[in-house]
Chains A and B, each alone.
Chain A
């Protein structure tokens, strides 16, 4: 084991669908089905995928909102599944989360001051005076007026609310923050401000991010490494630059070529995907991507590919595909 800050190994999260008179499980949603991730201290791992591919579930397992069906989530080598009580509370200080919808993630009945004081209250840090000072520092740090304390969340814009959410997440000086689509509910003009705030905080506080998003343009901007997820599995993982320059998995290629480019001349020849993500209740046999894959052959239908480094490629660049590297990005410079 390396000394990675976050080590997720073979994580599985299955949700039973219950039904019938006796409320027995009748089916299983395999939201996450064997995911391996590593986040080093101070680094950002981007987790990319379509809606419903299980990326949010991974994030929630990491902060232990869900208890995984199988697999391990280790923070500093400590298995999250076995800690409870005071020890868990202690670990939670290192592990925070920023939510997608800033209208949902703040309790509308509390003032901003109360919301930001809550972390200190829960962990009994400092007296009222110190807490008030800390709240003011936090507000200032995320670029809000200290007067915001006495106001309520609904009096703020989406971007400002997200700043409050970020302030709450960094209040306890965490080491890892799971950012679950932190900017996708925001206007594009606001997105970059929030992203820059996150990057600044990362530099200052040495934070590591697990950055969950469906937006490849965003993830490129912030990530050191990127993992691409499809239907509960990681299909490709590589350094951010590497992944954008030479994606190996056809799914990654399709995703990257779907990034909007503000030039109508370059639009032609993109390998766009048809269809929807299949249901995680009954995932396709073999490679889960094969029903939508333009390169699919018989082997893909039968045999599930393993996530591994390709011969001749960098060892850090792993891909789960039988036909890896056979699809290229359309040339556009």
Chain B
């Protein structure tokens, strides 16, 4: 049979598009993610393209090219900013095309005549200045955003995987299973999240995956409650009973009937969940219990900015970036919630 989108879904999408603020935020957010995925080409201390002695080099991805490749006198990775000045000065045949921001998240810009942090400078191409060890703030922000956003999405996926399955099972099977998990959740919810994170990070240095695991350990509760309630409501509706009378299995009823009808809740929950994931990672990093340094992170930048208030560009950059990101995500969430509002489609007889 030919595939056809449910007209109700089409209506919801149309409604979402009609909420301009949320719709634009959605595209801006998608663009931000796309840009961050292409960050190596835009913000990097490796050149995009080098032309040296008649040959082209694309150093962005792949193994580092040693300095000798371009006739420099060292075996470690080429310093392309230096190479650019070197070739521009006529000491070799070729040219270098650097990314718009020629600094990576880990490269320090050290100088002999001054100490970092350096203020924003157009000519140095430090558009947002450097942090206290001379790393470019914009580069840290961009790579930090990428980590934060994928952290949030990963956390969302983990929370949903646990929460939707347990919540759905609680609502569907009810009885003792439901009762048992209700009590488990009540106890679980009272565990002090921050202390556990602090304890765990004092024992092992949390990696990206481990940190998601720790946070999902506490984060599954919210969506579980919601899914339980929604499933509870759906499972007594006539269409579910009809499927039961036909002899449908539990799996079929849950997957084909109940889950598709709870999708509005799942979708509505997601943007706010992403926003809270970003905030959570940033605050953990700020406290020093998040991803280990020197991972680029907004929380760590915020902490530096707090310690060096005179270097106002650090704080301003992080706060600005946070505000833009969170406002964008919240606008999306708001529009999604509005578009999926069931009241709009309920027919009261």
Contact = CB atoms under 8 A, between A and B. Distances in A.
A159 to B, nearest CB: 14
A105 B244 CA distance: 12
B8 A104 contact: no
A173 interface: no
Contacts of B246: 92, 96, 118-119, 122, 168, 172
Contacts of B6: 108-109, 152
Contact of A92 (B8, B179, B237, B247): B247
A89 B257 CA distance: 18
Contact of B261 (A63, A88, A92, A107): A107
A101 B4 contact: no
A244 B33 CA distance: 74
A113 B4 CA distance: 12
Given A113-B1, A122-B252, A152 B8 contact: yes
Contacts of A154: 7-8
A103 B247 contact: no
A96 B245 contact: yes
B191 interface: no
Contacts of A106: 239, 242
Contacts of A123: 247
A303 interface: no
A104 B248 contact: no
A111 B248 contact: no
A305 B237 CA distance: 37
A207 interface: no
B261 A109 contact: yes
A296 interface: no
B197 interface: no
Contacts of A108: 6, 8, 239, 261
A122 B237 contact: no
Contacts of A188: none
A97 interface: yes
A70 interface: no
A97 B245 contact: yes
B349 A103 contact: yes
Nearest to B182: A23
Interface in B142-159: none
A218 interface: no
Interface string B282-298: 00000000000000000
A51 interface: no
Contact of A150 (B2, B238, B247, B256): B2
B260 interface: yes
B196 interface: no
Interface string A19-62: 00001000000000000000000000000000000000000100
B307 interface: no
Interface in B249-298: 249, 252, 256-257, 260-261
Report whether over half of chain B's contact residues are helix, strand or loop; otherwise say mixed: helix
Interface residues of B, number: 26
B243 interface: yes
B1 A65 contact: no
Given A65-B245, A150-B1, A105 B238 contact: yes
Contact of B239 (A107, A122, A132, A155): A107
B199 interface: no
Nearest to A149: B1
Which of B2, B7, B238, B243 is the most central at the interface, judged by chain A CB atoms within 10 Å of its CB?
A: B238
B215 to A, nearest CB: 32
A104 B4 contact: no
Nearest to B176: A23
Interface string A79-116: 00000000011001101110111011111111101000
A265 B238 CA distance: 42
Nearest to A106: B239
Interface in B197-254: 237-239, 241-249, 252
A99 B252 contact: no
Given A89-B247, A109-B260, A123-B247, A99 B4 contact: no
B238 A99 contact: yes
B347 interface: yes
Contact of A168 (B179, B237, B242, B256): B242
Contacts of B243: 107, 118
Nearest to A118: B246
Contacts of B242: 97, 99, 105-106, 165, 168
A309 interface: no
A99 B241 CA distance: 9
B239 A105 contact: yes
Contacts of A172: 246
B239 A104 contact: yes
Interface string B3-15: 0101110000000
A103 B347 contact: yes
Interface in A271-302: none
B289 to A, nearest CB: 37
A310 interface: no
Interface of A: 23, 60, 63, 65, 88-89, 92-93, 95-97, 99-101, 103-111, 113, 118-119, 122-123, 132, 149-150, 152, 154-155, 165, 168, 172, 185
5 contacts: A105-B239, A106-B239, A108-B8, A113-B1, A118-B246
